[in-house]
Structures are given as C-alpha cells and as structure tokens.
Structure 1
Amino acid sequence: MALAFAAGALLAQGRIPLPAGPLLLAAGTGLILAFLRPGPRVLLTLAGVAGLAGGAAARSDPSVACLTAVASGPAVLEGRFEGVPGGAPTVLAITHGTCAGARVRALVEDVEAPAGRRVRVHGWWRASGDAAPARLVVQRAEPLPERGLAGAALRLRGRALERTGRTFGPAAPVLEALLLARRERLDPDVSDAFARSGVAHLLAISGFHVGVVAAGVYAALLWLPLPYRPRLCAAVAIVGGYVALLGFPGAATRAALFLGVGLLVRLRGRPVASSVTLAGAALVLLVSHPGWVASPGLQLSFAGIAGLVRWRRPLAAALRPLGLPAPLRQALAANLAATVATAPLVAWHFGEVSVVGVPASLVLTPLAALVITGGLVSLGVGAVTSALSAPLIDLTIRGASLFVTLVEAAAALPWASLPVSRTTCVAALVGAGVAQRLTRRARARVRLPALAAAVVAVPLTLPALQGWGGRGRFELHVIDVGQGDAIALRSPRGRWVLVDAGGRGRAFDAGRDRVVPYLRARGVRRLEALVLSHADLDHSGGAAAVLDALEVGAFLGPGVAAPSEPYRDLLRAAAGAGVPWVRAVAGDEIPFDGVRLSVLAPLPEDSLASLNDRSVVLVARYGSFDALLTGDIGVDVERRLVGRVGPDLEVLKVAHHGSSTSSAAELLEGTGPALALISVGRRNRYGHPDPAVVRRLEGVGARVLRTDRHGSIRVRVSPGGTWQVRVARPGSGP
C-alpha cells in the first residue's frame, strides 16, 4: 500500500516522466493484481488513488505555486530552519512574508542560525532554472524571541553546543556533528572524505545515531525497577526528546517514527512482520507529506531499512561457510544489505557509488558508536563531576581523531568511489531482476553469486551495446544551469566536448550542482575538450568543478589580455591537473569523430574587443546538419559570420542569452535557423531574453526553446541528417 501510495504521489507531481509514468504504473499494477486476490486489489487501487490525490494536492499547494512564481530579488522573511543550517542547503519554514506557509530550500553560509529557532532572514530570492521552486540565499539571520517549550529546547541545545566545543577541543567539530547535528565548523574536506568513503551516514544524524541512543537509553533503564512496557515507552520518549532537541533532522525523525511504530506493534502483543512496520511508517510520512516521496533522503532511509529487513538474514546465512565469527558475519551482512539496497538510489541521485563503503563501514561503524556513546556519557558525567569525566573525555577525543583519520585514509584510496550513469544503474537492476527470476528456486549459495555476477556483467556489456545502438549519432545538449551557458556535445563514437560550464555564486556552483551530475548520469568520465567561450563568470564559473570531477583532454579559450582573478585561478587549476591550455582562434578545427567542429571567432584582430565580442564561436557540422554556438557575441561580430555559416542553419544557440545586443537581423535572415536555443535563468534580473529578439527569431520561422521554461534540451542527429529534439519539461508553453 505504501508503494502504491508513493507511485500515485510521484505520478501526480510529475516526477515520473510521461508517457513512461502511466505505462510504468499500469504495468506494475497489472503485475501485482495478477497475483493478488480481489481484496488487496481494492486496497492497492485506493492507495494509488489516494497517492494521486495527495501528490496533486502537494503540487497545487498555493505556497508551492508561490515559490515557483517568485522572481529573483531581495527577501525579508520570518520562519524557522528545519534541520541544521550550514554549508549545505537546508529548509526554511516561512511563517511571515512572501510565500508564508511554504518550505523553501535555503542556502546558508557563515550565518549563525540555530535549527528550529524563530528568525528574521535577510537574503535574496534565486528563481530556479530547473522548473523547481525558487531558492533562498540567506545573508543574515536575526533570532526572534522564543517562548514555551521551543525556547527551552533551543536554550538547552545552545548550552549543549557550547559545552561540546569547550569540552572536546580540537575534536569538537566532528563531535558537534555526531552528537548535535551541527556541521558548520567541520572542515569541508572532511565532509567530502565521508562522502567518498561511503560512510556519510555515520556523520549525519540518522537512523544509526538514533539506534545507538535508543540502545544506550534502554540499557540504562534496565537498572531501574520498571516493567517491560513502561521501560520501552520511556526509551522511545527519551529518543523522541533527543530528536526534538536536535531540531527534527529528517533522517533522525524518520528513524524515530519507525521506532515509534515498532513500539506500537510490540505493545499490541502480537507478532507483526518488520516489513509491515516499515510500510506503516512510510505510509504515515507520505500521507502527512506527499511531497516528500521524491526526497532522496526519505528514499535512502527506507531503502536502507528495507534492505536490512529483507536481506540481512539470508546474507548472514550465505556468509556462514566463510567461517567468520558470528558478530563479524552479522555486521558484514547488515552492511551489505543496506549498501545493496541503497546503491541504485545513490547512483541515480548522485552519479557515483563508493567502492570502499562496505569494508569502511565494518571498521568505522563500531568506532562511531563508541565515539557517540563516549561523547554523550562524557557530557552527562561532566555535568556532575569533572574528575570522573576527564578520562572519558580523553578517550572520546582520541576515538574521534582516529575515526576521522580512518575516514580520510579510506577516501584517499584509488577508486574509492566510481561514477555510475543512470543507464548503468537501470541495467544492473534489470540484470539482478532477471537473475533473481531464473534462480528463484536455487539455494542461497547459488542464487547470491548469480545475482552478483548479473549486477556486474550486464553493465559491463553496456558500452558495446550503447556503441552499437548509438553508432553514427551526434548529440547536442544544452544543460539547464540557470543564467549561464553549458553545452555538451556527444560524438558518434560516444566521446564528449563541453562548451562552457555555467556560473558560480557564493552558495551555488553550476559545474558542481548541474553540469557534473548531468554528465555523470550519462556515463561521462572524460571530456576530449573543455571549451570556454569567454571569461565571464556565468560561462566559466563552473569549470573548476568540471576539471576536478572529470578527466579533461584539453582546455580551449580565447586569449585574455588581463584575466580576472577567478579566471587566473582556473588556468592554474588546469595546469595543476596537467590539462594543456590552447588558445582558440578562427580557422582552428577540433577533431571529433566525424563531426566537423570549427572555430569561426575570435579573429586575431579581435584582441582589443570586449570580452563578449572575443567569445569563441563554434559551428558543429555533421552531414547536412549544422549547429552554431555563439557565446555572448554582439551584433557586429554576428554580421561578420553571415557569409561563413550559410543558409538553412538547423540549430542556433542564441547569443548572450537573448540579450537585445545580439541576434542581429542580418544573421537570422542569412542563416534561417530552424531551432533557436536560449540558455537563460528564470525571471533573471536582466530581462533575458529580450521580447524583440524572440520576435525576430520567430519571424524567420525558428522554433524557440528556452531552458527557463523547457529545462535541459537535447538535439539528437542521425547519420542521414534527420534530427529530433527532446526537452526536460515537455508541454511547457510560453
């Protein structure tokens, strides 16, 4: 029922792309109904309809509509932060001001903003370039007076944070994260190490932490003369208070809810399957918040628990022939079960999977449990007597230091994490499903190796299959990076060139947040070339993240007489990575597997022109198909291109985001583009694209597609010259 409700909610919110969504829902429902009796059919149908209704309600919520419509500009709001503000995005529940009642994604850096505290926020609305609600960049947060339980909890949290910092010295940042969900003082490199080593769940307050606290509390309550049921209720109540003290972080809240549902099941006095408990907790969350169904955090939480419920015991039995001690065998089985269950979601959402996660977790999980227990006990004992707490504090500091050292060592291993495309992810799941079906009656020691072999073998055949299926196909991708440019070109042999990498701000990096995930989702590990049309930050800002994440063969750009400091940093980063820099000038050709990629500008005499007019202009020719990529050039440079491109142009990447200073009538009339692509941010402050430019484009018969309305755009060209366009948001009108 929970899955049926989730499917309905996803479909209603447009999270499952049409027409695949209805087909998937219909096929899945048909398969399930084929094996169920009439009673369950009715329940599943009702759950699916309820999910559709809930998802539609979440989608049509006026507060959500408000966030979608809000324009970029200054913001003064009142509300409460949900979770823990820090270097990563968090959520602000708005109580007063624009879009009151909405929950907005907030980017908070160098701002003290306690979770759960009423604050007045001064910042900037940033309209999303991805058809999602706007985000909020927080520049300042002023605490507002608190009363009642919320105020008491915040004061207690503040004192705990102060004591943690004072007590644990240099180990305080990691202990603040482990005990109190505060990560502001944690070194970003340490956070990255946790992610690369596959143990980020040990750092973020999650079900693991709730489980450690619950076990410790229950063990302590065994010393009291309490009956079983009151002791169980007291343990759950204390855990709930701990989660409330932290400000209800998402993963911890879900774990506490699962614990609460499990308590209710136990109090019934009748055995109930763990899967039923899990489904009940999921249903409670989804009914109360249908929009959460698309949250990666929620999906990972329940996938991990489901993996433990379904596979921990079979895996432990399969590992018995290895002769491992029972505790180690159980721990290995639990880690494998959770990792296998969450790996497809991790690959789907983040484009990479940790290779060292399972062995690292085996070592680090018990150490993390000891550090968490030691930290909490040290703080508790220290409140009574400092003499007894001193040795505990010393052991906790040593344990925390060892914990971080081991995490960094695991992250530094070669191939600690591997990029995984969404196609590979789906192929692995298909292979596992087929193997499961074919070996369903085999013994575990036969079935498990068969599953593992299928998961590995099917994705390994993908490059050959994709090369055969996509042989001779050229693709042009305009990646939605908001107000900026990022265009990826795929050759007929599956090699890639990136032209521009989007912008970078204080809290947003288009390269890191949009371009790299987009490319990794398509299996890209190497770029033959990274071409920067010019040095403006909305084109070059994301390039450093691209250089850091992918192998790059060459770095091309125009010569810049006096480059800015960010551009100099970029050149130094490229040199440090061993990527040669090549100055691009008119007449150059970039070899690209049958695609003729020619540089039309800048000319040598353009060295004194403006940055925009010195943009690298490329034309990609594949058979009878031509695409012109114009950077940010103005009308004067455009007029010089008229005789060099020729008529009947298929695709024009409109210059300078559709600014009034570009798209000269002479160029449009001389080339007659069939398709005009505008990379532009939603409700940007520049007013791009200029309405007159759009009219000129439409006046020559061009179909106009814009990333602010249509999302990322892909043009696929066959060897015969026929081409098709696909947009991320079909049906988006003007």
Structure 2
Amino acid sequence: MFQPRDSYRFPFTSYPAVRLALLVMAGILCARLELLSGLAAAAVAVSLLLLTLLLNYAVRQQLRFELSGHLSLSYLLFIFSLGLTAGSYQLERHQAPRPEIVLGELFPADTLRWHGTVRDASLNAGGTLSVILQADSVMSADGALAFRHRFRTQIRFFRADSTQVASLRNGYQVVIEAVPAAITPRRNPHDFDVAQWLHGQQIFVQATGGHAATVRPAPAFVSWGWWRNLMQDSIDEVFSPEQAPLAKAVMLGHRAGLDAELRQNFSRAGLAHLMAVSGMHVGFLLLPFWFVIPVFWRMKHGAWLGLGCIFLLLWLYAGITGFSPSVQRASVFAFFVAMARLFRYQRDPVNLTGLAALLILLIDPASLFLIGFQMSFAAVLTIFTLLPVLQRLFDPKKRHLWYAKLTSLTLLSFCIQFALMPVLLHRFNEFSLIGPVMNTLAAPVTQVVFIWGFAGIFLSWIHGPAAAFLTLPADWLALLLAWMTTFAANVPYAFVQGRLDSLLFYPFWIALFFALAASLQPALRFRFVALCLCCGLLWQADVLRQKIAEASGVQLTFFDVGQGDAVLIQTPLGRAYLYDTGLWSPFGNSGDRFILPHLKAEGIRHLDGIFLSHPHSDHIGGLLSIMREIPVSLIYDPGFEHHTALFAGYRTAARELGIPVVTPQMGDVVWLDEVTPGFILGPHPDIRSTNPNEHSLVLKLRYGTQSVLLTGDAETQAEELLSRQFGDWLNATIYKAGHHGSRTSSHHVLLEAVQPDIIVVSNALRNRYNHPHPDATSRMRNYVPDEHLHYTALDGAQIFRLYGDRTERVMWRE
C-alpha cells in the first residue's frame, strides 16, 4: 500500500522572537505606503492590545477555548501594528522641515553660521578635515535665523590648518562659518556611493567650512566627546606614530588616519570588518568577563550584578565609539547572550538574533533599510543555520582537537563571506576570495591588539612611559597585522572585481542558502534544490537578455574624472578601447580612482587599444596605472612630443612592457572590430602651432547610421582645418565638446558641419578655468536642446548605446 512521505513543517513556535521580528518588519514596510498617520496607527495598536487582553481573559479565566484562534490572530496583529506605528512616526519625523531643502534652496551660496556640537572630526592624508556636526541652529550672515531644528551635517575644511583641527574635536560646542552644499550622487557607475553612506548616517546636507570657533570644550567626564578624545589621545601615547592609526581603527573604529592604500588592502583581504566596530569587537570586549561569570554564580544576586556590569561595559564601549549602528546591534545581541549565560537559560542563538533585531527596529525603524543592519543579521543567521551543517562533515570525536577548531573558525569565516558575497559585489564591486583564510589568521592577532591595547590605555592613565613600554608587543602585532593584510591583498587571485549581472541573483543565492541549510532535512532537501534551480534559470535568462542587448550595439562611457577626459568604447564583438585616460594630480590619478575599478567591475581584463588625444596631464594622467594593471594591445599617439615627466614615463613604460605605440595619420581607418570602423581625422598635417591642443588626435566612430566625434582639445585652427577638409562628413550623432567647453573650441564652423543630436561636456564643477565658457555654451545650445546637452560636472558619467539605427542614453543611476 502507498505510504505518503512525511511532510515537514517549519517549527515557527520554536522561534518566537524571529516570528515577532518578521511581523514588526512587515509593519514597518507597510508604513511606507502611508495609509495611516502615526496617531491613527497608534490607535489601532492600542485597540488591538485591548482586544488581545480581553480575548486572553476569556480563554484563560472563562475557559472559552474556541476563542484561542482569535487570540493568536489578535496577538499577531498587535505586534504587526507596533511596527506600523513605529514606521509611521518615523516617516512623519522625516516630513519635518528638511535642512537640505531649506538651506540648499534659500541659501545655495551664502556663508552661514552653524551652531552645534562636534560628533566626530577626522583629518585625512590630503589635508581635508571632515566634521560631523550635530547642528542646533543655522544663522544667516546678518544674524537672522535660517533653520532651527536638530540635524546632522558633514562640514569639510579643505587644506585645514592646525587651529581648525584643534578647535573641532569630539564633543566641542562650536560655531562654524560654512557654505551649504547638496550631497552629490555617485559620479561614475562603479564608484563608492558616498551619498548613500551619508544618508545611512542620517546626514542629508553638506557644507564647505571656512572659519571655526570653539564656544565650549567637551565637559570632562560627563561628555562622550571628552571620553573619545581621551581614548584617541591615549592610543597616540602608547602606540608608535606608525601603528597608532591602525590601533584606533581596530579598537575604536576610527579609520580617518589610515592610509588609503592600507584600507584598500584590508578590503581586498576580506578584513575590512576589523576596522568597523561590530560583533567581533564586542566579543573581544566581553571575552575577559566571560571567564569570571562562574564567580557571579557563587554570589547572592550575582547574576543581576554581572548583568549590570555587562550593561555598563557595553554602554561605555558604545559611547566611546560614537553609538554607531553596528556597535548598537552587536551590543544588544551580546547583552542577551550574556544574560542567558548568567541566568543559565538555554541559549537559542537564532531566537536571540530575532530578539535583538526586534528591539532595534522598535527603537529605530529606519534601521531596517540600512545596509549595515541587513548585512549584520544576514551574517549572524547564516552562521547559526549553515555552520552546524558544515560541521557535520567532520567526525564528532575529533571536533575538540586544535586543527578541528581551526577548521571551524575557517568555516565560520566562510559562512560570513558566503552570506555577504552578493551584497559586496552589488555595493562595492569587489569580493575577497582569501577572506576565510585571512580571518582565521588575523582574528587572533586583532584580538590580542584589542585587549592588550585597552590594557595599555588604562595603564597610561597611571604611568605613561611604562604603558608605552608594556604595549610594545601590541604595537608589533599591529605591524604584523598590517603586513599580513598587505601581503594577502597582493596574492594573485586574492580578490575578484566584478558586478552583479542581475538582481535576480539575490533570489538564487537565498534559495541556494536554504538548500544547503536544509540538506539534513530529507523532506525539504528536494524542494529547495528545485527552487534553487528555478531561480538559477531565471537569473541566467536575465543575464542572457542583457548580454544580447549589449552585444547589439556600441557602448560609450564618458567618465566623470573632473577636469579631464576619458571615454570607454565597448564594441558589439566584445572589444574595449579607451579614448584618453583622465587626469593626474599629486593625490592620485583617474586610472586608479575611476577607470580601473570600472573596467574590472565590467569584467574587462584587456584593452585592445588606447587612443591618446594629446599629451597633457588631464588626458594621459591615468595611463601609467592602466598600463601596469591590465594588458594593453596598442597605443595610438598623435605624435606630438611633450617634455614632461608624465609623458616620458608613459613612453618608457610602453617600451618596458612591450606595448607598441603607433602614430596614425589623417585619413587612416582603424577597425575597432569587424563592424565598427574608426576614422582618424586629425591632427591635420598643415597645423604649425606649438600648442599641443591643436595637434589633438580626432576620432570618428561609426556603427550603422549612428556615429560619434571625439576631438580631444582641438581649438580654433584645428577645427577650421577639420571643417574645411571634411565638411558635412563630420556629421555625428554624439559630439564630445572640445577642450572641456572652452571658448577656443566648439565654434560655429565645426558645429554647423557636425550637426550633433547630443553633446557631452567633460569638466569639473567650479574649475579654475571657468569651463564651460558661456560663449561656447551659447553656441552649443544653438544646435541641441538643453535636455541633450550633458555636463559630467552636473550629471556625472554619461553612458550611451548605439544600436545602428538609434542611440539611447543609459540611465545608470536609476
């Protein structure tokens, strides 16, 4: 006789805190629909609470068990209404007068007086002082009140002097004269999204500072700012100047003093979380206390005493690290774990995770939409659900051995990396492959630096020189940690750079996670494997759809590199070229900052050619970095000699790397691929000027009936000869304005021949050359409407796709 397979039902009753957290999340999400006001949602919650109490009385006191189902439903709806109420009130708070609207629209270029308290101040290697100010009010120059609501803002002081640094410390009440500025969105598709990060910190307006004056320093002992300053100064006292910035990052999450290259190495080695105070740091903090918990068990009311000590310790650490969202989440979770151990409750980590999430969401519903909150709880849940499955692969009799514990630690790191991989690729276009191994090696070193460092800080308050001497081992370990990180980041294939081809990868990844977690449940195993396969097919189908669309045309990316030029050309047959490589400055170059991250995120591992318009540093600035990082088949050079170190360095590097440098002539045809010809239209041989701009390499690309004209920095003489030589044949769909919109370029004689449909101007906002010039802008507006005149300074990078019979603009920010 046929016997049906036993069905599996998820044990929701075993995870009440998770169930409650999910209901609160659903309520917060529903609040986004703005169906009810905060007051109305609160009234609904109170009504449901009264109904739940009445039903509970009827069931328990009058034994009316037929109402049990109604009681459960009423209880669940009440929890849902709590999330709805919290979310509705949070939305109403955000509908209050917004500083970015009031200050940005009414005082867009005025110097205002900002009154408030410094919450954080950091000076980077470039001399820029960044101040996070809890503003109380903003006054106009004539003393009138411009804005009177508490809000957070970031004020930046470029080339800050020692007086500004000394007067803007944590906890100081200050008055700052600064000009408000809107937070700019990402400049290029694969740049770090600073705007999103600032919004996550509840900062919606920036300002550029000038003068700052201290009204009152941070009060001693009673101000968190005073304690943060004390801790940072103590670290400077006990650690060497070389290792103090790393010690501050590891112990306090203060990363401002770290070298940019070292921060990148931490990210590529999968160790970036060591510099952001999180659950690992809170665990380090509680580790010494964990061993003395049995002492509290032997004391009368010892459990309550121990819980009070743990609360005080967590509260103090959260305070000196600025009450960051990550340390708040970790502290709440650690508090519940410690409470369970002190009172000898059976600890269910999944339930504790749900309880921590529930408490945080009720206090701050906006946390649900922060990437840090999502990543933290995704990692924790992954550890508690996936790690036991992986540990089953090992013999239970050998799990206590040292190598088994080392393997478990590696598996723990693997679980975290596994959970965060799609988020890291989506948000940062980078994922560390060496991370699980490096976390196993670096975590113990970091733990010793953390604990020993704090011991040295406390000792320094008694005897500074002795503390500095006794902290030398921690200083050496910090040096070892930096060396390990740098070594790991430079190991071949230590990390991969790429992008998430489709958002459908998320459901596939979640299904894969559940399939692995359910591998020990026969009744669920097949279902989740089938779901994983279905999601994988949908993901690959969407990726295929995108590739077919991309392969049917030429894609041009006009990078926003500031006051410079760089254009990426991707052909239908998969080849990639650059036209110019951006600018160079003492603080970096466009190759390292913008172009290489974009190429790697797009999966471009080889350049078929680089066209250099002319040898100025704002056009070849990123060339050396690009040549040394990825293979380049050929460089097209206009042939104009330029006696600069940058130009000589590129020529030398090309010889050393075996990259051919050719000088094409006017009239040559360069086939970018079998269906995409490129026509060399300049420099004209009759030009006798010594100005390198006039010798710019002019390139016209054609694909079907669509075309693009790139003229570099060609000026008056070059444009006249170009128009006279080629006339209407210059007609192009897209014209990149010559010389960044300078008055000496984009003359009527050229624009009349080109008759562009779209014009792109590459320049920096408020540049010292005052580009684009009003005369050039006026001329260009005679040929294209304003909606087809694009400035990288205002709109960021511009991406267009030529399909042969039409051209479409890619709205990458959407």
Listed as ranges, the matches of 1:140-289 within 5 Å are: 145-148=216-219, 153-169=224-240, 171-183=243-255, 186-217=258-289, 219=291, 227-249=302-324, 251-256=326-331, 258-259=333-334, 273-280=351-358, 283=361, 287=365
Listed as ranges, the matches of 1:21-100 within 5 Å are: 58=94, 62-65=98-101, 80-82=118-120, 84-87=122-125, 92-93=132-133, 95=135
Asked if 1:601 corresponds to 2:678, the answer is no
Of 387, 390, 395 in structure 1, the residue corresponding to residue 473 of structure 2 is 395
2:509 is aligned with what amino acid? Answer: A
Greater mean deviation of Cα atoms: 356-365 or 540-549:
540-549
State the distance in 1 between where 2:77 and 2:586 align: 51
Write out per-residue CA displacement over residues 332-373 of structure 1, whole angstroms, 9 at most, x where no aligned residue. 332122111222222122211111000110111122112211
State the distance in 2 between where 1:501 and 1:607 align: 26
State the number of aligned residues: 702
Residue 578 (structure 2) aligns with: 498
Distance 1:604 1:231, change over 3 A: farther
Write out per-residue CA displacement over residues 127-150 of structure 1, whole angstroms, 9 at most, x where no aligned residue. 747486776677997766314258
Q: Is this contact kept in 2: 1:4–1:44, CA < 8 A?
A: yes
Identity %: 23
Asked if 1:553 corresponds to 2:638, the answer is no
Distance 1:444 1:420, change over 3 A: farther
* Alpha-carbon shift at residue 606 of structure 1 (Å): 4.1
* Alpha-carbon shift at residue 587 of structure 1 (Å): 3.9
Q: Which structure 2 segments of 5+ residues have no match? A: 1-21, 35-71, 141-145, 188-194, 196-203
Asked if 1:479 corresponds to 2:559, the answer is yes
Q: Is this contact kept in 2: 1:657–1:689, CA < 8 A?
A: yes
1:200 is aligned with what amino acid? Answer: A
State the distance in 2 between where 1:107 and 1:415 align: 39
Distance 1:618 1:339, change over 3 A: same
Q: Is this contact kept in 2: 1:118–1:145, CA < 8 A?
A: yes
Q: Is this contact kept in 1: 2:251–2:450, CA < 8 A?
A: yes
2:701 is aligned with what amino acid? Answer: A
Write out per-residue CA displacement over residues 629-674 of structure 1, whole angstroms, 9 at most, x where no aligned residue. 2223334422333352626521112223334433222222222212
Write out per-residue CA displacement over residues 683-724 of structure 1, whole angstroms, 9 at most, x where no aligned residue. 667665455545544543553334455443322223x43332
TM value normalised by structure 1: 0.78
* Alpha-carbon shift at residue 625 of structure 1 (Å): 1.4
Q: Which structure 1 segments of 5+ residues have no match? A: 13-35
Asked if 1:670 corresponds to 2:753, the answer is yes
1:476 is aligned with what amino acid? Answer: L
* Alpha-carbon shift at residue 416 of structure 1 (Å): 1.0
2:154 is aligned with what amino acid? Answer: V
Residue 654 (structure 1) aligns with: 737
* Alpha-carbon shift at residue 175 of structure 1 (Å): 2.5
Residue 440 (structure 2) aligns with: 362
Greater mean deviation of Cα atoms: 431-440 or 640-649:
431-440
1:725 is aligned with what amino acid? Answer: R
Distance 1:558 1:119, change over 3 A: farther
Distance 1:438 1:177, change over 3 A: closer
State the distance in 2 between where 1:525 and 1:557 align: 22
Residue 639 (structure 1) aligns with: 720
Greater mean deviation of Cα atoms: 247-256 or 344-353:
247-256
* Alpha-carbon shift at residue 627 of structure 1 (Å): 0.7
Q: Is this contact kept in 2: 1:712–1:727, CA < 8 A?
A: no
Greater mean deviation of Cα atoms: 442-451 or 428-437:
442-451
Distance 1:177 1:438, change over 3 A: closer
State the distance in 1 between where 2:465 and 2:393 align: 49
Greater mean deviation of Cα atoms: 98-107 or 597-606:
98-107
* Alpha-carbon shift at residue 554 of structure 1 (Å): 3.8
State the distance in 1 between where 2:305 and 2:793 align: 56
Q: Is this contact kept in 1: 2:569–2:576, CA < 8 A?
A: yes
Distance 1:47 1:390, change over 3 A: closer
Supply the RMSD in Å over aligned alpha carbons. 4.9
Distance 1:522 1:335, change over 3 A: same
* Alpha-carbon shift at residue 78 of structure 1 (Å): 6.3
* Alpha-carbon shift at residue 544 of structure 1 (Å): 5.2
Residue 24 (structure 1) aligns with: none
Distance 1:184 1:390, change over 3 A: closer
State the distance in 2 between where 1:364 and 1:323 align: 24
Q: Is this contact kept in 1: 2:132–2:154, CA < 8 A?
A: yes
Asked if 1:722 corresponds to 2:762, the answer is no
2:798 is aligned with what amino acid? Answer: I
Write out per-residue CA displacement over residues 9-46 of structure 1, whole angstroms, 9 at most, x where no aligned residue. 9999xxxxxxxxxxxxxxxxxxxxxxx98997997799
State the distance in 1 between where 2:621 and 2:746 align: 24
Asked if 1:351 corresponds to 2:418, the answer is no
* Alpha-carbon shift at residue 628 of structure 1 (Å): 0.8
Q: Is this contact kept in 1: 2:125–2:257, CA < 8 A?
A: no
State the distance in 2 between where 1:83 and 1:669 align: 53
2:216 counterpart SS class? coil
TM value normalised by structure 2: 0.71
* Alpha-carbon shift at residue 263 of structure 1 (Å): 7.8
State the distance in 2 between where 1:41 and 1:479 align: 51
Write out per-residue CA displacement over residues 45-77 of structure 1, whole angstroms, 9 at most, x where no aligned residue. 996897699579759863233676686899986
Residue 626 (structure 1) aligns with: 707
* Alpha-carbon shift at residue 492 of structure 1 (Å): 0.7
Q: Is this contact kept in 2: 1:534–1:631, CA < 8 A?
A: yes
Q: Is this contact kept in 2: 1:496–1:529, CA < 8 A?
A: yes
Q: Is this contact kept in 2: 1:529–1:552, CA < 8 A?
A: yes
Write out per-residue CA displacement over residues 551-593 of structure 1, whole angstroms, 9 at most, x where no aligned residue. 4434444455444555556666666766555556534544421
1:608 counterpart SS class? coil
Asked if 1:528 corresponds to 2:605, the answer is no
2:262 counterpart SS class? helix
State the distance in 2 between where 1:493 and 1:166 align: 60
State the distance in 1 between where 2:29 and 2:565 align: 35
Residue 520 (structure 2) aligns with: 443
State the distance in 2 between where 1:114 and 1:449 align: 55
State the distance in 2 between where 1:261 and 1:91 align: 34
2:309 counterpart SS class? helix
Q: Is this contact kept in 2: 1:710–1:727, CA < 8 A?
A: no
Of 154, 160, 165 in structure 2, the residue corresponding to residue 104 of structure 1 is 154
1:399 is aligned with what amino acid? Answer: L
State the distance in 2 between where 1:686 and 1:72 align: 20
1:628 counterpart SS class? strand
Q: Is this contact kept in 1: 2:634–2:661, CA < 8 A?
A: yes
Q: Is this contact kept in 1: 2:112–2:178, CA < 8 A?
A: yes
State the distance in 1 between where 2:172 and 2:639 align: 51
Q: Is this contact kept in 2: 1:428–1:454, CA < 8 A?
A: no
Q: Is this contact kept in 1: 2:254–2:275, CA < 8 A?
A: no
Distance 1:699 1:504, change over 3 A: same
